[in-house]
Structure 1
Amino acid sequence: MTVLEHRGRLLIIDCGVLFPEEHHPGIDLILPDFDYLEGRLDDVDAVVLTHGHEDHIGALPYLLKRKPDIPLIGSQLTLALVEAKLKEHRITPYTLGVREGQREQAGVFDLEFVAVNHSIPDALAVCVRTAAGTLLHTGDFKMDQLPLDRRLTDLRAFARLGEEGVDLFLTDSTNAEVPGFTTPEREIAPAIDKVFRHTTGRIIVACFSSHVHRVQQVLDAAHKAGRRVALVGRSMVRNMTIAAELGYLHVPAGVLIDIKKVGSLRDDQLVLVCTGSQGEPMAALSRMANRDHRIEVGPGDTVLLASSLIPGNENAVYRVINGLMRLGADVVHKGNAKVHVSGHASAGELLYCYNIVRPRNVMPVHGEWRHLVANGRLAEATGVPAERVLLCQDGTVVDLVDGVASIVGEVPCGYVYVDGSALGGETSDELLRDRRILRDEGFVTAIVVVDTSTGEVVSEPEITSRGVAEDQEVFDRVRPQVERAVVEAMAKGTTDTYALQQVVRRTLGSWVGTKLRRRPMIIPVVIDA
């Protein structure tokens, strides 16, 4: 999420989510921090959406719950996906559909939209003109010269804007470390066709629920092979239905069937398309691998993972692959076949863009820090002065004055966690740390009953553990130490039960760390009899 401010008015570009990794136990989604906007939502002229992927639209329900009438501006497919998502949250948005080449005024911001190619149709870059300068934001993009929908990234528009003068160029950094040019989507069709030709059993294809191009290729391959296709999962059915209704997905006659009818077909007649290509635990493919889905995977089945590994998801994906192969399925993935290409521009494409736009200042966006650094170096290689390349973190404030962009400060900015029905402050970093300790180290509970009036321990400390490998008897050695420490503390005048609990925590924690070489969560309970 990027927030622009000019003359006291705000423009938001994209509003997406992050997905939890292993160090976020129990978290469903991670949202942008909206605190900066608190009290200023009436100043927001619009939210511009570059495309319909979750990392660019997923947080909109949580923003619009605060102010439902913020205008949303985007392409036809993007807004259709957004409206379907918001309907689940009982929000009816105010939307403005735009096309490439169109200009719109949103308050003090003059907007022009440029066609870009990505792994979802109808993606747009946006040029923002203000009295303070001109900004060009690519969104996620690549320069596929043979796109499946024949919609090219409009390099002529990029060049025209460059001639006009781009003061700040925000560019997609995801593939900045990858040399050359991203492989065209069309080049993976033969690999998919080969899987369909040589497979005699069922084919299960896993991809993102918004990857219209990939589903189109699966439908075409199934049509050639005389197979029928069933979509599995609510989000997959919803998104592909929208894409088909709007003309972005072309379904060959008779190919698509309802999931309820798959039992009437032989295995060699059937293709299932589902989510779960990133190992998401609740997605259909993961549940199949865990035998927790009505689709039972077994010998003769071929699973096609039509996606790249997102950094951080490797272990989850390999866990699913191992689970599927253990059940007897063959698994085809990017590691052993050319079944996926990236939706992001590689280094060669970024260099091309820098050379035709010739921006005065560059701010790499999207990706990890190493990707931002790599993208910044590409900008410098094309002649952008190093001091005009801004590497920014979440919350960084950039001023654009007289054609010069500079980092001038930061606003407080963290992550907001969605945990079931809890949102924001109820799920803190401290709570996540406790969860990680419980997951990795277990916990030890010590209950001590004392009589503070006499300074005595009434009964021997009771120590139990969960998630600790050692037998319970191992704690017999530390009970006298805990009792002695509590008695000594009371002898020195400590009678507050909370303070005595800290004595127990320190004594027991130190012993466990030294003797067992573990750092479990210590839960002390002191009861004053």
Structure 2
Amino acid sequence: MKLNIKNNETAVFAVGGLGEIGKNMYGVQFQDEIIVIDAGIKFPEDDLLGIDYVISDYSYLVQNKDKIKALVITHGHEDHIGGIPYFLQQVPNVPIYAGPLAAALIRGKLEEHGLLRTTKLTEINEDTVLKFKKLSVEFFRTTHSIPDTLGIAVHTPQGIVIQTGDFKFDLTPVGDQPSPNFQKMCRFAEEGVLVLMSDSTNAEVPTFTKSERFVGKSIRHIFDRIDGRIIFATFASNISRIAQAADAAMAHGRKIAVFGRSMETAMVNGRELGYLNIPDDVLIDAHQLNSMPADKVMILCTGSQGEPMAALSRIANGTHRQISIQPGDTVIFSSNPIPGNTVSVNHVINQLSEAGAEVIHGKVNNVHTSGHGGQEDQKLMLRLIKPKFFMACHGEYRMQKIHCELAQQCGVPEKNCYIMENGDVLALTQDSARIAGHFPAGDVYIDGNGVGDIGNAVIRDRRMLSEEGLVVVVATINMQKQAVLAGPDLLSRGFIYMRESGELINQAQRRVYRTIKSTFSSSEKVTEASLKDAITSNLQEFLFDKTERHPVILPMLILL
């Protein structure tokens, strides 16, 4: 992990967020000072069985914890703040600086993990300046699908390092949110931007991303033609979308019922911070909901990504305690499926349709726009910032590659554009850049309360159990007499149905018995481990020959 960073160089790196969508975490280092930008989580793919979240390997930051001066937050999405409690458990006492909404969301996370009293959390705005001995940090307004989105400008002796965070150029944001601060971006460019670390998510989209206000018009038009009950599903973090749905509901004389824990939290935070102007008398609970006419209510809920435990999924499969689909209901999905969630979303849509609801979703209905800028937004950022060097962030490899090509079109030399991996360190002077080494920055799995105690071997076992099943072999053995006293007996879970496979079970038991006897006869010194290895390999070979499957074999031997 020894890095070759010279005393006159500023280093930039990603602990997470490169080659992937999620767990964004970046660092800027000069000598003995490090500024950490964001600390997110990534939601697991379907093959990570039983895993709740994926976070970054913080070992480099743990080893350099005395150098960390601040954790600065671009915005309040989970892929940028979800890892903060886990980071603080390993690197305590790091002061956190975040905008009002992000700070409110972080406060809730810290309280949940018992870290609020011991953490310094400071609310900031775009005029805040953080000054340290060698580095200083400024902020600038951007727009995204959540309020209080900030870009980060770290002033170093070599020049300014800019991390855009998630952004698009929305010139007509909703909810009295300010538009992007072009003047401040241009001021940084005049002062000299050393490197731009920019959001690559929509690098494959060859346009400007539409304004959130455009979606608001579509929502109002859709509400105009609906006579029955409306169920509106979106991300709980998309306060702007919630505001527009609420405005449309109130304009049509509808009361609003909120379901889903994260949606309820978003409603509380949004109203407290002034982003949601929803009077108390507009909000109703489940009991009032069921007593009101269908054309006078809107249900606002989570579950637009098909999450199995979210409110909408439970409504769709009939397990929600307070809401069931009624004839005439219209369900609006105001989001696009995140990669990996398409199957789950389609399943929920099918369930809702089968239950009798009309479902409105997809680009054709204009009920969603991305919070990430397309190619034209990305090129505009490059032209405004005018960086000497460019590093594509927040995206998979193909997105980073296209983004680097856009940078070259905007005047950044090809040799100054970098597609890096998590853990790579880019060392910069005023007129040079080089890769100065690599530190471990792999995935760390969170399973319940366990952090990092689940490795690839466990995931592989879980995958095998889910695909092939389990066979348990039980036998009582007298090691001195080298005799089988009881068994062997076989138990199957997820492999075969034992009542219908008596002959196979009997053959397998005889195979195991012969394996035990032959192991004793072929060696004078037989151990429990050698017996288990012999049983496992022989039984696996036998079962594959009979079924062409590889179940997990678990020998349980009682030795006397």
Distance 1:267 1:256 in 2: 15
Partner of 2:5: none
Residues 79-133 of structure 1 deviation map (CA, whole Å, 9 limit, x = unaligned): 1222233223331332333222443214532111110010001100011011133
- Is residue 2:103 matched to residue 1:79? yes
Partner of 2:528: 497
- Is residue 2:89 matched to residue 1:65? yes
Distance 2:259 2:556 in 1: 49
Q: Which moved more, 1:177-186 or 1:63-72?
A: 63-72
1:84 aligned counterpart, secondary structure? helix
Q: Which moved more, 1:48-57 or 1:397-406?
A: 397-406
Distance 2:285 2:106 in 1: 24
Partner of 1:170: 197
1:177 aligned counterpart, secondary structure? coil
- Is residue 2:62 matched to residue 1:38? yes
| Structure 1 consecutive aligned stretches of length 4 or more whose deviation exceeds 6 Å | none
- Is residue 2:271 matched to residue 1:247? no
User: How has the CA–CA distance of structure 1 residues 515 and 163 changed in structure 2, closer, same or farther, with 3 Å as cutoff?
Assistant: farther
Kept in 2: contact 1:120–1:211 (CA 8 A):
yes
Residues 141-152 of structure 1 mapped to structure 2, 5 A cutoff: 141-148=167-174, 149-152=176-179
What's the CA shift for 1:160?
A: 2.5
- Is residue 2:338 matched to residue 1:293? no
- Is residue 2:121 matched to residue 1:121? no
Residues 480-491 of structure 1 mapped to structure 2, 5 A cutoff: 480-491=510-521
1:406 aligned counterpart, secondary structure? strand
Kept in 1: contact 2:305–2:344 (CA 8 A):
yes
Distance 1:299 1:328 in 2: 6
Kept in 2: contact 1:360–1:404 (CA 8 A):
no
Q: Which amino acid in the other structure matches residue 270 of structure 2?
A: A
Q: Which moved more, 1:432-441 or 1:133-142?
A: 432-441
- Is residue 2:31 matched to residue 1:7? yes
Residues 136-182 of structure 1 deviation map (CA, whole Å, 9 limit, x = unaligned): 00000001222213522223322322232211110001101111111
1:264 aligned counterpart, secondary structure? coil
Residues 104-253 of structure 1 mapped to structure 2, 5 A cutoff: 104-148=130-174, 149-251=176-278
Residues 301-352 of structure 1 deviation map (CA, whole Å, 9 limit, x = unaligned): 2111111111111122122222222222222112552110000010111122
What's the CA shift for 1:203?
A: 1.0
2:185 aligned counterpart, secondary structure? helix
Kept in 2: contact 1:452–1:490 (CA 8 A):
no
Distance 1:110 1:297 in 2: 55
Distance 1:410 1:384 in 2: 25
Q: Which amino acid in the other structure matches residue 175 of structure 1?
A: N
Partner of 1:472: 501
User: How has the CA–CA distance of structure 1 residues 298 and 439 changed in structure 2, closer, same or farther, with 3 Å as cutoff?
Assistant: farther
- Is residue 2:551 matched to residue 1:520? yes
Q: Which moved more, 1:166-175 or 1:491-500?
A: 491-500
Partner of 2:13: none
Identity among equivalent positions (%) equals 38
What's the CA shift for 1:187?
A: 1.6
Distance 2:133 2:225 in 1: 57
Distance 1:422 1:253 in 2: 40
Structure 1, unmatched stretches of 5+, are none
Kept in 2: contact 1:133–1:400 (CA 8 A):
no
Kept in 2: contact 1:80–1:242 (CA 8 A):
yes
Partner of 2:409: 381
Distance 2:405 2:546 in 1: 50
Partner of 2:47: 23
Aligned length: 528
Kept in 1: contact 2:41–2:54 (CA 8 A):
yes
Q: Which amino acid in the other structure matches residue 89 of structure 2?
A: K
Residues 433-448 of structure 1 mapped to structure 2, 5 A cutoff: 433-448=460-475
Structure 2, unmatched stretches of 5+, are 1-24
Q: Which has the higher contact order (CA 8 A, sep 6+)?
A: 2
Q: Which amino acid in the other structure matches residue 472 of structure 1?
A: S
**TM-score of the pair, normalised by structure 1:** 0.94
**TM-score of the pair, normalised by structure 2:** 0.89
Distance 1:370 1:126 in 2: 25
Kept in 1: contact 2:472–2:555 (CA 8 A):
yes
Partner of 1:316: 344
Kept in 2: contact 1:50–1:123 (CA 8 A):
yes
Q: Which amino acid in the other structure matches residue 80 of structure 1?
A: A
Q: 1:341 aligns with which of 369, 388, 393?
A: 369
Q: Which amino acid in the other structure matches residue 45 of structure 2?
A: E
What's the CA shift for 1:501?
A: 0.7
Kept in 1: contact 2:62–2:91 (CA 8 A):
no
Residues 409-428 of structure 1 mapped to structure 2, 5 A cutoff: 409-425=437-453, 427-428=454-455
User: How has the CA–CA distance of structure 1 residues 106 and 227 changed in structure 2, closer, same or farther, with 3 Å as cutoff?
Assistant: farther
User: How has the CA–CA distance of structure 1 residues 66 and 261 changed in structure 2, closer, same or farther, with 3 Å as cutoff?
Assistant: farther
Distance 1:433 1:136 in 2: 40
Distance 2:440 2:512 in 1: 42
- Is residue 2:294 matched to residue 1:267? yes
RMSD between superposed Cα atoms in Å: 2.1
Distance 1:367 1:53 in 2: 15
Kept in 1: contact 2:147–2:177 (CA 8 A):
no
